[in-house]
Structure 1
Amino acid sequence: MPTLTSLDHLVLTVADMDRTVTFYREVLGMEAGRFTPADGSTRWALKFGQQKINLHLAGQEFDPKAAHPTPGSADLCFLSDTALDVWQAHFERLGITVEEGPIARTGATGPILSLYIRDPDNNLLEVSTARDQA
């Protein structure tokens, strides 16, 4: 059987491109930029580490797309080497509500400690550290 090695990118459908780009750049420190894929269109993406999140504006999604692209339908977990108390202070300074955490969870490779927040579309975002880094 063939095997997969990593996730290259995922797509978020968003209600307001500027608001989303600002949030992910200022709150989570992602790099936001435009790119031009093979079809010649201009699109937005968020980059962090070796990962990328492509952004589609609701009602103007690019094909092919999910069967039911909807703002606010994602639940994403991001890993960080920064201690969660630093993240908590950062979120507090920005007026971002921590919905839950720090709370112990299980990540893809082992125990993590997580904080939960929401982005402008109400996607659930989990910011996590390896439990021994908490």
Structure 2
Amino acid sequence: MSAAALSDHYPRFHLALPVTDLDETVRFYTQVLGCATGRSAERWVDLDFFGHQLVLHKVAPEDHPAAASNPVDGHAVPASHFGPVLEWDDFQAMAKRLRAAGIDFVIEPYLRFEGRRGEQATMFIADPSGNHLEFKSFKDIGMLFATDLDTPTS
């Protein structure tokens, strides 16, 4: 979704990420994820990341932070990650798009809290510089910030 498609009253976030190969990482975000580019300079590029500003900053490989993980639902979830909350059908389309592009999943698409109030689909990938992305989708977007996710839906 482009920034123009979002409401003018919805706050956008700005996130800057360190990347070790600027050209390869920009190709990933533009060609695989479909992000448009904005301003750029020799060592950074702005992207329209689902209506939000994502800035990729080139760093030396030794300056890129290591990724720690935490156990969640039997998966090693990268502690540092970000990503959009998509509509249910858009999530399925993104999973298909990632598979078609030959992207390796850090965590394959799966359902969390199935049959409960917080039912959601989730999947994790990494960009070419090792930054982790989580794509999510909720059966009921009203559960995005709910604290009682274990309650059955019926």
Q: TM-score, normalised by structure 2?
A: 0.59
AA paired with 2:97? Answer: H
Distance, in Å, in 1 between the alignment partners of 2:122 and 2:131 is: 16
Distance, in Å, in 1 between the alignment partners of 2:109 and 2:43 is: 38
1:70 to 36, 39, 64: 64
1:33 to 30, 38, 46: 38
Distance, in Å, in 2 between the alignment partners of 1:49 and 1:71 is: 24
1:85 to 60, 71, 92: 92
AA paired with 2:48? Answer: K
CA spacing shift, 1:123–1:43, aligned 2, 3 Å? closer
Distance, in Å, in 2 between the alignment partners of 1:77 and 1:17 is: 19
CA spacing shift, 1:125–1:53, aligned 2, 3 Å? same
- Indicate the residue corresponding to 1:58 in structure 2: 59
Identity of aligned residues (%): 28
Distance, in Å, in 2 between the alignment partners of 1:34 and 1:49 is: 16
- Indicate the residue corresponding to 2:127 in structure 1: 119
How far 1:19 moved relative to its partner?
0.7
AA paired with 2:100? Answer: R
**Any gaps of 5 or more consecutive residues in structure 1?**
60-68
Distance, in Å, in 2 between the alignment partners of 1:55 and 1:43 is: 5
Q: Secondary structure at the match of 2:83?
A: strand
How far 1:50 moved relative to its partner?
3.3
Contact 2:22/2:43 (<8 A) preserved: no
Contact 2:81/2:132 (<8 A) preserved: yes
- Indicate the residue corresponding to 2:77 in structure 1: none
Cα offsets for 1:42-65 (capped at 9, x unmatched): 841111343101111104xxxxxx
Q: Count residues in correspondence.
A: 113
> Please, what is the CA RMSD of the aligned residues?
3.0
Contact 2:21/2:58 (<8 A) preserved: yes
Distance, in Å, in 1 between the alignment partners of 2:101 and 2:110 is: 18
1:23 to 12, 25, 28: 28
AA paired with 1:77? Answer: G
Larger RCO (CA within 8 A; separation ≥ 6): 1
**Any gaps of 5 or more consecutive residues in structure 2?**
1-9, 68-79, 142-154
Q: TM-score, normalised by structure 1?
A: 0.67
